[in-house]
Homo-oligomer: A and B are copies of this chain.
């Protein structure tokens, strides 16, 4: 192979890798990936959850599809997007981890977003034991859609924004273990703060759904009619 031809082929290969990098090069697309890591969802649902114009969301999803990061299925008039594989979630998680470790701006933005993160935490291997004793109640505070698409077995669903009104659905003298989407999700932090203010003992699960899935732990789902 001539040297020039080989250099061209090399550039092409690296540009192909870069196409995947480009898919990760927009905050909005990363938000969409984060949502998709919770389970499949319609364009409209994703647009609303990410605070995007429908057209814009669709365009970003096309970009992700082009990179092969997401796949789709049609159900009637709706099109459901989902992650194309666990490895995509893994890549997303690693990107966040590396970003946090090497970019000073990340911890700053993280703390500004999550607020006080100095709460009690439980690791998933400790959770199993406490569930068996019946010592705790597991609470999923994500939007119902995401709970339906997949949740920790035995968890009950009360979205954060309904939690203040529905707090009495929780047993009064049992610890509540709260989880949400993942490491950088506010929902569980907000929920723990709210529960604590109401005199409940609440602990944040160290893992969100993203980490739970990546650890290959069991997931219950309700939907897919």
Min Cβ gap A201→B in Å is 23
Q: Are B186 and A6 touching (Cβ within 8 A)?
A: yes
Shortest C-beta distance, A163 to chain B (Å), equals 15
For A66, give the chain B residue with the smallest CB separation: B103
Secondary structure dominating the interface of A: helix
Contact assessment for B19 and A26 in the assembled complex, using a CB-CB cutoff below 8 Å = no
The answer for the CA separation of A130 and B26 in the assembled complex, in Å, is 48
CA distance A84 to B20 in the complex (A): 22
Q: Is the CB of B22 within 8 A of A25?
A: yes
- Asked whether A31 is an interface residue with its Cβ less than 8 Å from the other chain, the reply is yes
- By the criterion CB–CB under 8 Å, are A13 and B115 in contact? no
Q: How far is the CB of A127 from chain B (nearest CB, A)?
A: 26
Say yes or no: is A106 at the interface (Cβ < 8 Å to chain B): yes
Asked if A45 CB lies within 8 Å of chain B CBs, one says no
* 8 nearest CB pairs, A to B: A68-B102, A21-B24, A14-B27, A9-B113, A20-B99, A15-B27, A25-B25, A13-B109
A-B residue pairs in contact (CB < 8 Å), sample of 15:
A1-B115, A12-B112, A13-B110, A16-B103, A16-B109, A17-B27, A17-B30, A18-B25, A18-B30, A20-B102, A24-B24, A68-B102, A69-B98, A84-B102, A90-B94
Which positions in A face B, CB cutoff 8 Å? Answer: 1, 6-7, 9-31, 34, 51, 67-69, 84-85, 87-88, 90-91, 94-99, 101-106, 109-110, 112-113, 115, 184, 186
